[in-house]
């Protein structure tokens, strides 16, 4: 079994990356950014990166709970931090088919050296902001969220300089935002790859680090949202229904059947595949149907693609 390399500082990661360029320039580097508390959804992204870089390649997995994407009333302080377990999970992967796996687990001070931008009171510091694409859906409910994501992802891309960086479709708006940021900030064309959502094989609930917050009862009700999304997808594909209101109603009916008191819905929307604005009818370019809801204090998201793919 090959040893994992674990770097805690930007300096160590930079030095490693420089060595890669110097030694064998043709080796590919894949990158999977995460906030840790690794689950099988993350592992799918890592396996995807491993298969893309090939046996000579390296994959960097970052584990960093990024303070700038959490609002003051969100769960930054209690977000699951399980680094030792995460390292065990990564160590147990079969690494025979690849050159090396690197974990980058920096401190907040490493990623935000002036510490200015992490202040929730001061509006100071350096940020990357994707204006447009970030104000609706998740951005409407979590103002500042995508500014934090775009900022940290651009820092990480600068450090790792990967050939490919892999993101999960579960966070569909994040995929749009990161792709646009990479395009506009002149990162390598095509560097951002999106991998489909990995779901519980039995009931289809999208795996998420936040699922651990669900009570047993909430967990049994949670998959109804995905069932609703699938029924809507079926209406679109089999019956040619393109009216957003009808598709949204189909999801709401499924929640009603499950008991709508279990779901506090933030939004269920059908959005344009070019700029994520609301659409009334789905055109030939397809659309994204996405939703966010709360079960008690836990907030979950999910989506399906209708006639569109990344």
Ligand X SMILES: Nc1ncnc2c1ncn2[C@@H]1O[C@H](COP(=O)(O)OP(=O)(O)OP(=O)(O)O)[C@@H](O)[C@H]1O
Ligand Y SMILES: CC(C)(CO)[C@@H](O)C(=O)[O-]
Catalytic residues: 42
- Cβ proximity to ligand Y, 93 vs 177, nearer residue: 177
HSE (CB half, 13 Å, CA atoms) of 228? 29
- Which residues of this chain interact with ligand X, rule CB under 6 A? 34-35, 41-42, 44-45, 167-168, 170-171, 195, 197-198, 206-210
Please give the biggest Cα pair distance in the chain. Answer: 61
Instruction: Tell me how far, at minimum, the Cβ of 283 lies from ligand X, in Å.
Output: 26
Instruction: Tell me how far, at minimum, the Cβ of 192 lies from ligand BAL, in Å.
Output: 15
* Buried/exposed code over 112-129 (b: 16+ C-beta within 10 A; e: otherwise): beeeebbeeeeeeeeebe
Q: Which of 171, 258, 266, 302 binds ligand BAL (CB under 6 A)?
A: 171
Residue 68 as a binder of ligand Y (CB under 6 A): the answer is no
Asked if 225 and 300 count as a contact pair (C-beta separation under 8 A), the reply is yes
State the binding partner of 282 from ligand X, ligand BAL, ligand Y, none, CB within 5 to 8 A by kind: none
Instruction: Tell me how far, at minimum, the Cβ of 72 lies from ligand X, in Å.
Output: 17
Residue 169 as a binder of ligand BAL (CB under 6 A): the answer is no
Q: Which of 13, 153, 232, 242 binds ligand Y (CB under 6 A)?
A: 153
Residues 113-152: x where in contact with ligand Y by CB under 6 A, - otherwise, as a string: ------------------------------------x--x
State the binding partner of 173 from ligand Y, ligand X, ligand BAL, none, CB within 5 to 8 A by kind: none
| Whole-number Cα distances in Å, 139 to 100, 143, 226, 278, 287 | 36, 5, 21, 14, 18
Residue 68 as a binder of ligand BAL (CB under 6 A): the answer is no
* CA-based torsion, 42, 43, 46, 47: positive or negative: negative
- In the range 161-220, which residues lie near ligand Y by CB under 6 A? 171, 174
Residue partners of 226: CB distance under 8 A and separation at least 6: 199, 203, 204, 205, 206, 302
Asked if 308 and 273 count as a contact pair (C-beta separation under 8 A), the reply is yes
Residue nearest to ligand BAL (CB): 171
Residue 134 as a binder of ligand BAL (CB under 6 A): the answer is no
Residue 69 as a binder of ligand BAL (CB under 6 A): the answer is yes
At 73, list the tokens: 């009333």
294: helix, strand or coil: strand
Between CA 37 and CA 205, with CA 265 as vertex, the angle to 5 degrees is: 40
CA torsion, points 174, 175, 179, 180, in degrees to nearest 10? -40
| Whole-number Cα distances in Å, 60 to 36, 69, 104, 113, 240 | 13, 21, 7, 21, 43
Residue 303 as a binder of ligand Y (CB under 6 A): the answer is no
- In the range 28-57, which residues lie near ligand Y by CB under 6 A? 33-35
Chain residues in the site for ligand Y (CB under 6 A): 33-35, 66, 69, 149, 152-153, 171, 174
Chain residues in the site for ligand BAL (CB under 6 A): 35, 69, 171
């Amino acid at each position: 079994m090959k040893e994992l390399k674990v770097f805690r500082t930007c300096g160590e990661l930079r030095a490693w990356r420089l060595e890669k360029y110097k030694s064998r320039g043709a080796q590919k580097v894949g990158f999977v950014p995460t906030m840790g508390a690794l689950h099988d959804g993350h592992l799918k992204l890592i396996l995807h990166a491993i298969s893309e870089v090939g046996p000579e390649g390296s994959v960097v997995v970052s584990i960093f709970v990024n303070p700038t994407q959490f609002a003051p009333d969100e769960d930054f302080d209690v977000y699951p931090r399980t680094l030792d377990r995460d390292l065990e999970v990564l160590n147990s992967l079969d690494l025979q088919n690849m050159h090396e796996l690197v974990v980058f687990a920096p401190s907040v001070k490493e990623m935000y050296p002036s510490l200015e931008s992490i202040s929730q009171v001061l509006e100071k510091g350096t940020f990357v902001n994707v204006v447009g694409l970030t104000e609706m859906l998740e951005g409407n409910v979590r103002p500042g969220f995508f500014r934090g994501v775009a900022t940290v992802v651009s820092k990480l891309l600068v450090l790792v300089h990967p050939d490919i960086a892999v993101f999960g479709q579960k966070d569909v708006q994040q995929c749009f935002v990161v792709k646009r940021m990479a395009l506009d900030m002149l990162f390598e064309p095509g560097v951002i790859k999106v991998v489909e959502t990995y779901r519980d094989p039995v009931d289809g609930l999208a795996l998420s680090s936040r699922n651990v917050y669900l009570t047993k009862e909430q967990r049994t009700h949670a998959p109804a949202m995905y069932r609703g999304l699938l029924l809507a997808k079926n209406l679109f594909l089999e019956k040619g229904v393109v009216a957003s209101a009808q598709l949204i109603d189909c999801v709401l009916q499924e929640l009603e059947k499950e008991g709508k008191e279990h779901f506090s819905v933030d939004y269920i929307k059908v959005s344009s595949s070019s700029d994520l604005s609301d659409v009334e009818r789905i055109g030939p370019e397809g659309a994204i149907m996405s939703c966010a809801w709360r079960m008690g204090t836990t907030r979950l998201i999910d989506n399906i693609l209708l006639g569109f793919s990344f």
